[in-house]
Each structure stands twice: as structure tokens, then as C-alpha cells.
Amino acid sequence: MPIRRLLTFAAILLLAGLAPVLLVRAAPFLQGIENWVADYRVATMTPSQPQQPDIVIVAINEDTLARFPYRSPVDRAFLAGVLRTLEAKGAKAVLLDVLLDQPTEPEKDQALADAIRALKIPLVVSHGGADEGLTEGQVAYLNAFVPVERRGWANLVKDNLDGTVRWIFPGKTGAEGHWQAGVVPALATHLGLNPPRELTPLAWRGRPDAQTAAFRQFPAHAVALLPPAWFKDKIVLVGADLSDRDRHITPFRTAFAGNAGVLPGITIHAHALSQLLEGRTAPAQGVGLAVAAGLIAAGLGLVLGLVEISLWLRALLGLGLVVGIWLLAAPAFARGNILLPQIGPSLSVMLGLWLTDIWRGRRDRDQKRFVQAAFAKYLSPALLDDILKDPSKLSIDPKRRDMSYVFTDVAGFTTISEGMDATTLADVMNRYLDGMVKVVFAHGGTVDKFIGDAVFALFGAPRDMEDHAARAAACALELDRFAQGFLAAETAAGRPFGVTRIGVHSGPASVGNFGSDARFEYTALGDAVNTAARLEGLNKYFGTRVAMSGATAGRCPDIPRRPIGRIVLKGKTEPIAVFQPLTADEAAGGFMQRYQIAYAAMAEGREQARALFQALAAERPEDGPVALHLERLDKGASDDLVVMSDK
């Protein structure tokens, strides 16, 4: 494949594969759709898992708050009691997702502060700073209330476009210049894990079934009453589960009505912690996957664009590829843990198909211009128009094929032309060649080249012709009629002109573009071409104007002819049969019938052959083949085999 075409395909692949990736990320509307379809797969196709055995949520719910005289802040003494109870019942670690940024009742505040410091099991308490909207006073109070080693940023990372939580917050550098982990990574560190320090996609935990939550959850006010076994060696997350605060959009909102997909912060922390505990990875996603999917989709569109089918079928198959991308997304997520992008690759398929179609259109236009420029002077207008409508019928790369060839030459024209001035010579030759070309074109032939006054025409290239031999033979007869009429007209006008001799042969040859990088031409090469040229020259020896080989004559039985002989060309060992094609009137006359009888007698070696040819010579002394064979018979020849001593 040419380098230029490969570069074009590479450019289409890159443009169609990468442009939609950039477009989706730059266009909020498209990115929103991409996010929604990905979230819907997460919400509906996340594989079910048993309820998480190591994590328990202790929820501060409406029933809990109803036990106190005020809703906010949460009663500090109550929280202190929950922490001590959890430790007493054997909890492994505790996350307290309550922001302790302002004083309440001093005694209760002190009770909670003492409990936080005295707790012997790992404990992480939510922390915030100025970036989270806290005032200097709130930050100072919070820092004094919660020891540094117990802190963890309470942040949840939300998508700027739709506010959905999709990542685990790793942490950040605080005002003091030290790294502080998020609440979940901080607790994971206390548990001996090595949590990531970069933004990590959330691998949401599947529910066991529609009725069972992913995590066991108890109301905070019931902790003291519940069996210790329910908390022993468990990681307990304490936080709010209220309808009016600390609820956040998650991918589950795409499939569940109401607040079912808008989860409490403490539940989101539970999903994140379970991911770190279990070493699960989130579905593969991101820019790298989007680029890879886009390039593959663009490649499919490009390949489809190159298929030789109708535009409507190509568009229908392109739509089928897009549907296939959408159908593939479900098993890729459910079985391969891959969140395939869908909007970008869909656009890549269509863009790849469209760009390839544009390239094909330009290529076809260039090809038509090339064909028109290259063959306008060689092909008949009807044949050229046919090829322009369907360039696939044209083959210009060299190949071997079966064809017929017509060579013409004007006898003695070199000498005649020396007596003409340039203007007269140009006028005569232009009119003569114009007439000859029109005859060739009328029979569907291709004018290969002019060699002075000679014309070389092909039949069967550049387009295949099953009847190329019959066309070539009929063309030779009409060329002869035109040339005889042209000779008579020029003679009558007082301008000398020669007899046109024509050779016709059929056989295989190599045809196509031959030449150098600087210049090439469309032509045919091979022994069959040389034979046709030699037949044209033999007319002088035969005393004829048109000589046709048996290879051509055998393929056009409807064209009348008379045999001239079995000719062994110079340099050859095998004879070829040579005929003179005839018009219907010539073939119908008694002379040609008597010639056939005389020739058959000669070919069979019968003695009466000489007498028969003598009678024919008396009738038409100017007939070339009769004179040729009578002379041969007079010299002792006994058959129709003629061995040429020169070309």
C-alpha cells in the first residue's frame, strides 16, 4: 500500500479516535450523558456481594435526635457514651463522622473530649479547615478538641459537572504544611493498610439483594442495648443518616427513585473503606481507556468506510457498530470490570466512517480526473464515460491479459512527407489520424500510440472485452475503407498519399503503465504485439492491405476472409495462419470462391493447384495473394507454407 495512503489512514484514525474524546470532555452536555450511562451501569450491574462482615454503621437518625432537646450539634455526652460502649463491646476501630467545630454544654463537651483522648482502639474523627468553609474560630476550636493523630479530612470528592461522588478522597496538605489523610485513608492506616495518596475511583459494593443493605446498620441510640457480638472486632462508622443533611449524590441515583441513590456521607465512607480493606479495584476507566476505545472504534469506522458497498448499507452497518458498542458496555462492566465510554466511541465510529467516505469521494474524483486526462485521447467517449462512472472497471497496473491488436502504417509516407511543407503535412496527418481514431473509438478500441503516421490500437484493455477479436477485425475492415477513401480524396486534390496497410492479431501480452519515474505510458508489450506489427509489414509481401492472424480469425467466424498462407515469421519456427478479412460483397463474388478452391488444392499439394492459380491470375492479375502463390508454385512450392527471410 502506498505510503501516502497509509499516512492518510493514520490521520483519519487519529482524528476520528481522539477528537471525540476531547469533544466529550469539553462539552458538558456530552460529558453529562457519558457520566449518566456509566453511572447507570454501576447502579444496575454492580455484581451482588454478601453483606460486608467487618464494617458496621452506627447511624444518628431522626429517632436518635428526638431523644435530645436540640437537634444540632449532636449531644456530646451521648457521643462520648457511644464511643465508650463500642470500645467496651470489642469494636476494632471507630470512625466518628461528626464535625466538632463549636462548643455546646461544657460538661458534655469535656466528656466527649476526654473519651476521644482516652479511647484505646483506633479512632478517626472528621476534620475540616478554611477550605471547607469553617471560620478561624471553628478551626481553632476543632483543632483543640481533636488531637492531630485522631484527625481525618471529612471531604467527599464530587464531580464539578453533576455533583456526584465517584472517588475516594486521599487527603491533602493542611495549614501547618503537613499531609493529613482523609477520614477513610486515615482509618485504613490505623488498621495497618497502605492507602493511596492520589484520587482513587470508588469501587461501589454490590448489595446482597434488593432487601438487604451492603452494610449492617444500627441506630446510635440502640448501641448500648445490642449484643456485644454484633460489634466485636468490627470497624464501626458513626455518622448521620438524616433526610435533611449530609446526603450526597451517587451513581445509584440513576436507577433508584427518591433518596435511594442520594446516600449519607457515612455510607459513602463505608463503601470506600470496604474497597481498601478488600483490595478491590474500581472499574477501569479514564482518559487512557477513552483514547484506546476511540481509536479502535475509529478503526472500525475506517474499515467499514473502505468496504465497496452502497452508501445506505454502509450507514446502516455504521449504526450497527454503534449499537454493538452500547451492547458491549454491559458485559464489559459486569464481567470485565471495565467502564467503557460509549458516547466518545460512538462518535468515533461515525467520524471515522464519514472521514473515510470523504477520502473515498476525493479519491474517486481524483481517479476520474486522472482517467479523463490519461485516456481522453485514447478511448472512445462512450467507453471513457463508462469507466468514469465505474472506475473499478479500469486497470492500469501492469498485468497479463488476452487482447487483440491492430497496427496500421502508410506505405512510403516518409518519402512522400519530405515533399510537403510543414503546414500541409500537419493538415494531412491531422485529418488522416483524426479519421483513423474515430474508427477505432467507434469499435470500442484504445489508441495506444501514434508512431509517425502509424497507429497502434488495443482491444480488450484497459477494460475487459469478451469480443475483442471480432471488434478488432471489424475495425480493421472499416479502417481500410476509410484509408482507401482518404487516399482517393487526397489523390484527387493533387496531394500524394500512400496505401494504408493493416495487421491484426490476438493473444496474451502485458499491458499497463510502463516507463520510468519521470515518464511512463500506458501500452502493451509482448510477442503477440510484435506479431501484429509484423503482420502489418507482411501486407507488402502478400500484395494485400489487411492481414489477420488465425488467432483472430478463429474468434470471429462471422467475418468473411480468405487464407493467405501458413507463415513462418523470421526468427520463428512455428507457422501462423494468416488471412485477409473481406467485406460481404467481396466474399460473395465467384472469384473468392474459386480462390478458396485453388488454395485448398495448393494446401493439399494437388497438381492442379498451379493451373487454378493461373486461371485466377488471368482473371485478376492485380490480386496480390494470387500472384504470390502462382510465383511460388512456379518455383516449385507444393503447399501453403511460407517461410519469411526478412521481417
Strands 561-568 and 641-643: parallel
- The residue type at 165: V
| Residue 589: band (very low, low, confident or very high) from pLDDT cuts 50, 70, 90 | confident
pLDDT at position 371, please? 56
Distance CA 56, CA 41 (A): 27
| Residue 367: band (very low, low, confident or very high) from pLDDT cuts 50, 70, 90 | low
- Is pLDDT of 392 > 60? no
pLDDT, tens digit (0-9, with 9 covering 90-100), for 290-345: 999 999 999 999 998 888 888 889 889 999 999 999 999 999 998 899 999 999 99
Q: Are 513 and 528 in contact (CB under 8 A)?
A: no
Question: Which three three-digit cell numbers place residue 523?
Answer: 501500452
Q: What is the mean pLDDT of residues 53-69?
A: 95
Burial grade of 309 (CB within 10 A; 0-12, 13-18, 19 or more): exposed
Strands 235-240 and 52-60: parallel
Distance CA 616, CA 543 (A): 15
* Per-domain residue ranges of the chain: 3-20+285-370, 47-278, 379-389+400-557, 583-647
Give Cα separations from 380 to 85, 462, 467, 476 (angstroms). Answer: 102, 12, 16, 16
Q: What is the mean pLDDT of residues 231-258?
A: 91
pLDDT, tens digit (0-9, with 9 covering 90-100), for 475-516: 999 999 999 999 999 999 988 899 999 999 999 999 877 766
pLDDT at position 520, please? 63
Mean residue pLDDT across the chain: 90
Q: What does the DSSP 8-state code read for residue 569? A: -
Work out the percent of the chain whose per-residue pLDDT is above 70: 93
Question: Which three three-digit cell numbers place residue 10?
Answer: 493514520
pLDDT, tens digit (0-9, with 9 covering 90-100), for 135-152: 999 999 999 999 999 999
Lowest mean per-residue pLDDT among 185-189, 566-570, 576-580: 566-570
Lowest mean per-residue pLDDT among 378-387, 497-506, 582-591, 619-628: 378-387
- Is pLDDT of 256 > 90? no
pLDDT at position 300, please? 93
- C-alpha angle 128/186/53, rounded to 5°? 120
pLDDT at position 144, please? 94
DSSP 436-453: HHHHHHHTT-EEEEEETT
Work out the percent of the chain whose per-residue pLDDT is above 90: 73
Q: Are 283 and 337 in contact (CB under 8 A)?
A: yes
DSSP 309-341: S-HHHHHHHHHHHHHHHHHHHHHHHHHH-B---
pLDDT at position 105, please? 95
- Is pLDDT of 612 > 70? yes
Distance CA 15, CA 4 (A): 16
Any bridge partners for residue 446, and if so which? 379, 458
pLDDT, tens digit (0-9, with 9 covering 90-100), for 165-213: 999 999 999 877 889 999 999 999 999 999 999 999 999 999 998 889 9
Distance CA 450, CA 409 (A): 10
Which range has highest mean pLDDT (206-210, 272-276, 298-302, 588-592)? 272-276
- Is pLDDT of 521 > 90? no
Q: Which residue has the higher pLDDT, 589 or 165?
A: 165
Distance CA 439, CA 474 (A): 10
Q: What's the chain's length in residues?
A: 647
Distance CA 127, CA 613 (A): 126
Q: CB under 8 Å to 426, separation ≥6 — which residues? A: none
Q: Are 127 and 153 in contact (CB under 8 A)?
A: yes
Q: What is the mean pLDDT of residues 4-33?
A: 91
Q: CB under 8 Å to 177, separation ≥6 — which residues? A: none
pLDDT at position 382, please? 52
Architecture of domain 379-389+400-557: 2-Layer Sandwich (3.30)
| Residue 379: band (very low, low, confident or very high) from pLDDT cuts 50, 70, 90 | low
- Calculate the CA 176 to chain-centre distance: 56
pLDDT, tens digit (0-9, with 9 covering 90-100), for 408-465: 999 988 888 888 888 988 999 999 999 999 999 999 998 888 888 899 999 998 888 8
- Is pLDDT of 268 > 70? yes
